[in-house]
Structure 1
Amino acid sequence: MKNTYFVIGLMSGTSLDGLDIACCKFQRQDDKWSFELLKSSSIDYKDAFKDKLKNTVNLSAPELLDFNNKYGTWLGEQVDTFIKKHNLCVDFISSHGHTVFHQTKIGLTYQIGSGQHLANACGIKVICDFRTNDVATGGQGAPLVPIGDLFLFSEYDFCLNLGGISNISFDKNGERVAFDISPVNMLLNHLSNKINMAYDKNGKLAKKGTLNKKLLEQLNNLDFYKHSYPKSLGFEWFSENVLPIINRTTDSIQNLLHTSVHHITDQLAFVINQIGSRSGNKLLITGGGAKNTFFIETLQDKLKNTEVIIPDEHIIDFKEAIVFAFMGVLRERNEINCLKSVTGAEKDSSSGVIFLPG
């Protein structure tokens, strides 16, 4: 079994920012893994395509399956262009896909981006569908990034990702624990979109707003926050639980953004302060939210005994794509890449489905 792999990781998140492509080199030496990000690219979704992705939950079964195939082909075409542009040679593609359904109470998770169509379009082996097996064995199928935190970012006490949804991972009693905490860019970008802004850069609008105490109380009292882990969130939960509260609140976008930032940081700080009792904790923050200076300042003010670390911009932007590439490596080696201590599944597993180009 070889110890060096060249892999392209693909990630499309719930914030609908676009497709992240990361070509990585992974090396195993003395029972330790290291990685190098060789080339990367972010492809923004055009408005019409973004609307199509957002509307996938409302498609009929034949329409959804058709789009699954077309999206897989599109992914393969982007990979093919990326490889030719940078003259790359890789072992395989490891793709997260794009989540449409995530309803673990009924054992359902579904990511579009057909692995077979992807493989056919780029002519390279593909490993994808990392969540289904875990959900089939009673797990949440999320979050999955903690396996990368464990092996690639072990020098940090906590790893927090601020994407469409926030999730955190850390070691507890010799096991890796992780769970989703709250919506982040899913909520903030939704509000920004109302005034034709893709997002609130650096939180400038949110910083100008004032706190809507009634809205803050309603958001902080959502039932999800009272549940213990393992737990995970999806767009359906956001639509059913958060949007109705936002839609019936009459206030300026600035105030809604300001209050939402305080709501999210309240939830994050509660979790981190609760588990990070000793002093000197190091918190690694990645994902798009790490670039929101007002958000990070607000969070830091609420944290105790914890140092916030914002890494290099390439790690901020591509950490999830890097980790999904690494999950593919573990699957290729038939090694564990889904942790029951994280997802609540009956057992650890080596998840992912392999597709060879036809």
Structure 2
Amino acid sequence: MDTSYKVIGLMSGTSLDGLDIAYCTLTYNDENWIYKILHTNTLTYSDILIESLRDIENSNALELIRLHHSFGEYIGLQVQRFVQQHEIRPDFVASHGHTIFHQPEKHISFQLGDGAYIAANAGLPVVSDFRTLDIALGGQGAPLVPIGDALLFPEYDYCINLGGIANVSYNQNGKRLAFDICACNMLLNTLANSVGSAYDNNGEMAEAGTLQPDLLQQLNAPAYFSEPAPKSLGKEWVLEHSLKALAAHEAPVPDKLHTTCHHIAVQIKQALPKLHEGQHRVLLTGGGAFNIYLVTLLQEHLGEQYKVEVPEPEVVSFKEALIFAFLGALRWRGEHNCLRSVTGASQDNIGGAIYLC
């Protein structure tokens, strides 16, 4: 069996900041996986595409299918250009897609961007649709990243991704556990967008704001935060709870940003169990890791027993794309890439549909 794979990993996050593309090598050597990120790019979505992705959940089935195909075509063409630009020869592409619906309690999770259309337009094999099998087996279909955390970043006690939704994974009693903690960039970017900014650069607006205790109490109130894992969040939940609370409050945007950062830090602290004596290493990635105020606040909340570490920018920005490349490699090898200890499924499983082209 081949022990080295050249893979393009693709990730489109709920914060709608664009399509992350990472060309990686993944090598299995002496029972360890070694990764290298060779080329990367983030393609910013046009205003029209952002509007389509944001509004498609309220459209009819015909429009959903049309966008599923056209978004897959768009992704495939972008991959083709990326390949030509860097003069590379990937073995295959692994695409997460863009989550439109995630309601695992109803056995629903749908990622936009048809793998067949990606393959047809990229001219490469594609692995996609990583969640459906786990949902069919009674799982949450999420988070998917933890097996990558365990095998690619084993030196850390906790791996936290501050994406549209913040999530964590860690080993406890010989099992990998993981779950979504709370909304993150979905809240921060929405607030920044409301005053004409794509995001809060370095958390400067948030740092200038003041804490609103009543808003913080509302943000922390939902029962989800005290529920045991396995559990996961979708855009629908965030709209109904966190974003609704922010929209109803009359505080100025800097105060809302400041309070939201406190909310995120509070929930992350609550989510991290003590695993051993001594200092715990915390790997922080995702767009929120560039928010200096949020990272500083998180370290303050966690205290000296936890060491928050932000890696090189390439890993911060493209860790999820890297891990989807890795999930694709495991699928290609016919090995488990989704853990029942994380999702609550009836068994570990090999998620992902393969389209050969």
Q: TM-score, normalised by structure 1?
A: 0.98
Tell me the alpha carbon deviations over residues 217-260 of structure 1, each in whole angstroms, 9 at most, x when there is no partner.
Answer: 11111111011100000100011112221121111001011001
Aligned to 2:115: 115
Counterpart in 1 of 2:301? 302
Say if 2:274 is the partner of 1:275: yes
Give runs of aligned pairs for residues 102-251 of structure 1, distance below 5 A.
Answer: 102-251=102-251
Letter in 2 for 1:284: L
- Report the secondary structure of 2:241's partner residue: helix
Q: Give 5+ residue unaligned stretches, structure 1.
A: none
Map 1:252-267; keep pairs closer than 5 Å.
252-267=252-267
**Residue 169 of structure 1 aligns to a residue in which SS?**
strand
Q: Residue in 1 aligned with 2:328?
A: 328
**1:196 CA drift (Å):** 1.0
Letter of the 1:168 counterpart? V
How far did residue 59 of structure 1 move? Answer: 1.4
Instruction: Look up the match of 1:316.
Output: 316
Structure 1 residues 255-311: Cα deviation after superposition (integer angstroms, max 9, x where no partner): 011001101110001122x33463211000000000000000000001031101110
> Is the 8 Å Cα contact of residues 172 and 275 (structure 2) preserved in structure 1?
no
Q: Distance in 2 between matches of 1:203 and 1:243?
A: 19
- Identify the range of structure 1 (244-253 vs 175-184) with the bigger mean alpha-carbon deviation: 244-253
1:150: Cα distance to partner?
0.8
In the aligned structure 1, how far is the partner of 2:27 from the partner of 2:198? Answer: 38
- Secondary structure of the 2:9 match is strand
Asked if 1 retains the 8 angstrom alpha-carbon contact of 2:219 and 2:242, the reply is: yes
- Compare 275-284 and 174-183 and name the one that shifted more: 275-284
Greater displacement, 239-248 / 336-345: 239-248
Q: Distance in 2 between matches of 1:42 and 1:243?
A: 26
Q: State the 1:11 CA deviation.
A: 0.3
Question: What is the rounded CA distance, in whole Å, between the counterparts of 2:193 and 2:314 in structure 1?
Answer: 25
User: 2: distance between equivalents of 1:262 and 1:346?
Assistant: 36
Given residue 118 of structure 1, which amino acid in structure 2 is its aligned partner?
Answer: I
Tell me the SS of whatever aligns to 1:307. Answer: strand
Q: How far did residue 178 of structure 1 move?
A: 0.4
The CA distance in 1 between the partners of 2:221 and 2:152, in whole Å, is: 35
User: CA 1:275–1:107 in structure 2 vs 1: closer, same or farther (change >3 Å)?
Assistant: farther
Aligned position for 1:86: 86
CA distance in structure 1 between the aligned counterparts of 2:277 and 2:258, rounded to whole angstroms: 30
| Contact 2:139–2:346 (Cα < 8 Å) also in 1 | yes
Q: Equivalent residue for 2:57?
A: 57
Matched letter for residue 102 of structure 1: H
| Cα distance per residue 1:166-188 (max 9 Å; x no partner) | 00000011110000000000001
Distance 1:315 1:116, change over 3 A: same
3-state SS of 1:39 partner: strand
Q: Give the deviation of 1:216 after TM superposition.
A: 0.5
- How far apart are the structure 1 equivalents of 2:276 and 2:186? 30
Structure 2 counterpart SS, 1:211: coil
User: Aligned residue for 2:291?
Assistant: 292
Counterpart Cα distance in 2 of 1:243 and 1:83: 38
User: What amino acid is aligned across from residue 226 of structure 1 in structure 2?
Assistant: S
- Partner AA of 1:183 in structure 2: A
Q: In the aligned structure 2, how far is the partner of 1:59 from the partner of 1:82?
A: 31
Determine the C-alpha separation between the residues in 2 that align with 1:243 and 1:122: 37
Q: Is the 8 A contact 1:276 1:306 kept in 2?
A: no
Cα distance in 2 for residues equivalent to 1:118 and 1:275: 43
Q: Distance in 1 between matches of 2:271 and 2:351?
A: 28
Q: Secondary structure at the match of 1:275?
A: coil
1:160, CA displacement in angstroms?
A: 0.3
What amino acid maps onto 2:176 in structure 1?
R
For 1:337, what is the secondary structure of its paired residue? coil
Cα 1:243/1:346, change in 2 over 3 Å: same
CA-to-aligned-CA distance 1:181-200 (integer Å, 9 cap, x gap)? 00000001111111111110
- Structure 2 unaligned spans of 5+: none
**Identity percentage of aligned residues:** 46
